[in-house]
Amino acid sequence: MIVAGSVRVPGDKSITHRALLLAALARGTSHVGGALTSLDARSSARVLRQLGAEVSPLRPDTVVTVRGRSRFRRPDSALDCGNSGTTTRLLLGLLAAHRFPATLTGDGSLRRRPMRRVTVPLARMGARFDEPDGDGLPLTVRGGPLVPLRYELPVSSAQIKSALLLAGLAGGVGVELREPHGRSRDHTERMLRAFGFHVIEEHGWIRFTPGGRLEPFALQVPGDPSSAAFLVGAATLAEGGELRVAGVDVNPTRTGFLAVLARMGAAVAVEDVTEHAGEPVGDLLVRPARLRGTEVAAGEVPGLIDEIPLLAALASRAEGVTVFREVGELRVKESDRLNLIAENLRSVGCRAEVSGDDLHVEGGEPPPRGPVRSAGDHRLAMAFGVLGTVPGARIRVDDMACAAVSFPRFPETLRGLERKARP
Ligand code: S3P
């Protein structure tokens, strides 16, 4: 494939969820431009409507308007969060400060994902939980008045951190948090600061001090670096040309994959960086390159957690071995990503293995060929879709439609990279 031209990626998923949730709690009308319109974003919009917010339909290239109330109203039925862990966990934080009971559920993948990582600290703040099926969904939260929290997270996770900060916001209590190692994405902190709240970082602790009112806002969501990563990967594997991915969020807590790609020998430049609502936004300029293996340290993992499927796919084309240290968190993503990455790489003829919580991938020359089982996991499907662009590759991903969870029209966009290059 020869690449050329400039593309945009859909709006950032993490920022879209946060913008919708916060807009729903601001009394008045907020405007969210560039919002992601994927299945996950629609899950947030849907449950917020059940909680009393008026959210306009999520359509591409259309500003979303959200008429919020300062408190949620009791929902008539269960809140179905679909496939979206971010919707579920962040919403649990907000619901912890509301007096009514609310039941959350989701699809088969989401129901299996651990929720105690947020319900345990939220219970310390005063919320009560009923979890009939153990650590997962469905569960019922009964919120109420909250007490302040000082808490060391067992894993670096932006969803846990954000759930607790949002509980502090909605409950009007202080929250102090510390992550074990490596910083997870900090969009919630940046957004709260941009809206005038007091969030500081001191000696490794993140401190939220209550005070102030959430006012309606207007915000432009930048392109999602996690979606951009797949196009960067495809352009890196290409045989020639140059690709610009324009308007991407380049927040340092999201761009760990760029540092790893640079070590692997990739040619990616970040250009034209400006700032929007507290987030740096720039263009990624990518040229094809020959890759070599590297070691990804445990401390780097929170900053590239969603990019590991793609990096592992690229590592299978690099010279030498790539090791991802301490990536056990991948077992509790939309699928058991850790084992499925290794299994699927082997299935297309590459060498990969899981050893404890580490993932080893050995690079090779033969074109990858074979079936891929995505287990409905969007990022697995897209990572192997990218690997399928290698000359001579014959990869059959069982379910490419699941890419729509985070990247609507991904297959068309990937094919478009090549078409653009043709006169
Ligand atoms: C997200 C945090 C990460 C990430 C997910 C989105 C967020 O999850 O994997 O796709 O928006 O806060 P964890 O907090 O579980 O690491």
89: its two tokens: 């966990």
- Tell me if 287 sits within 8 A of 242, measured CB to CB: yes
What is the C-alpha separation between 134 and 114, in angstroms, rounded? 9
Helix 256-263 / helix 225-237 crossing angle, nearest 10 deg: 20
Say what the pLDDT of residue 1 is. Answer: 87
CA 208 / ligand 1 centre spacing (Å): 20
Say what the pLDDT of residue 182 is. Answer: 87
- Tell me if 410 sits within 8 A of 404, measured CB to CB: yes
- Tell me if 209 sits within 8 A of 169, measured CB to CB: no
> Which residue of 43, 157, 224, 338 sits with most ligand 1 atoms within 8 Å of its CB, as the best mutation to test the pocket?
157
What is the identity of the amino acid at 177? Answer: L
- Ligand 1 within 6 A of CB of 253: no
Q: Which atom of ligand 1 is nearest to the CA of 162?
A: 12
- Ligand 1 within 6 A of CB of 41: no
Residue ranges for the chain with pLDDT beneath 50: none
Neighbours of 130 (CB within 10 A): 12
209: its two tokens: 């001090």
Which residues make beta-bridge pairs with 199? Answer: 208
What residue owns the CA closest to ligand 1's atom 9?
306
Residue 271 Cα distances to 201, 241, 256, 304, angstroms: 28, 18, 17, 20
- Ligand 1 within 6 A of CB of 341: no
Q: Characterize the bridge pairing of strands 175-178 and 149-152.
A: parallel
pLDDT tens digits, one per residue of 92-146: 999 999 999 999 999 999 999 999 999 999 999 999 999 999 999 999 999 999 9
- Ligand 1 within 6 A of CB of 159: yes
- Tell me if 19 sits within 8 A of 26, measured CB to CB: no
338: its two tokens: 């850790």
Q: How many residues are listed for the chain in this entry?
A: 423
- Ligand 1 within 6 A of CB of 188: no
Residue 12 Cα distances to 227, 249, 422, angstroms: 8, 7, 29
Which one of 306, 336, 377, 398 is the catalytic residue?
Answer: 306
Q: Which atom of ligand 1 is nearest to the CA of 305?
A: 9
Say what the pLDDT of residue 277 is. Answer: 82
What is the C-alpha separation between 87 and 137, in angstroms, rounded? 13
List all residues 6 or more positions away from 312 whose beta carbon is below 8 Å from its beta carbon: 322, 324, 341, 345, 352, 359, 361, 383
Q: Which atom of ligand 1 is nearest to the CA of 90?
A: 12
Say what the pLDDT of residue 409 is. Answer: 97
Q: Characterize the bridge pairing of strands 394-397 and 369-372.
A: parallel
- Tell me, rounded to whole angstroms, the distance of Cα 65 from its chain centroid: 23
pTM comes to: 0.98
Say what the pLDDT of residue 421 is. Answer: 53
Helices of type H across 174-271: 187-194, 225-237, 256-263
What is the C-alpha separation between 374 and 202, in angstroms, rounded? 41
Helices of type H across 292-423: 308-315, 337-347, 378-387, 410-421
What residue owns the CA closest to ligand 1's atom 16?
157
Let me know how many helices (H) and strands (E) the chain has, helices first: 13, 24
* 306 included as an active-site residue: yes
> Which residue of 87, 94, 185, 308 sits with most ligand 1 atoms within 8 Å of its CB, as the best mutation to test the pocket?
185
CA 162 / ligand 1 centre spacing (Å): 10
Q: Which atom of ligand 1 is nearest to the CA of 14?
A: 11
- Ligand 1 within 6 A of CB of 162: yes
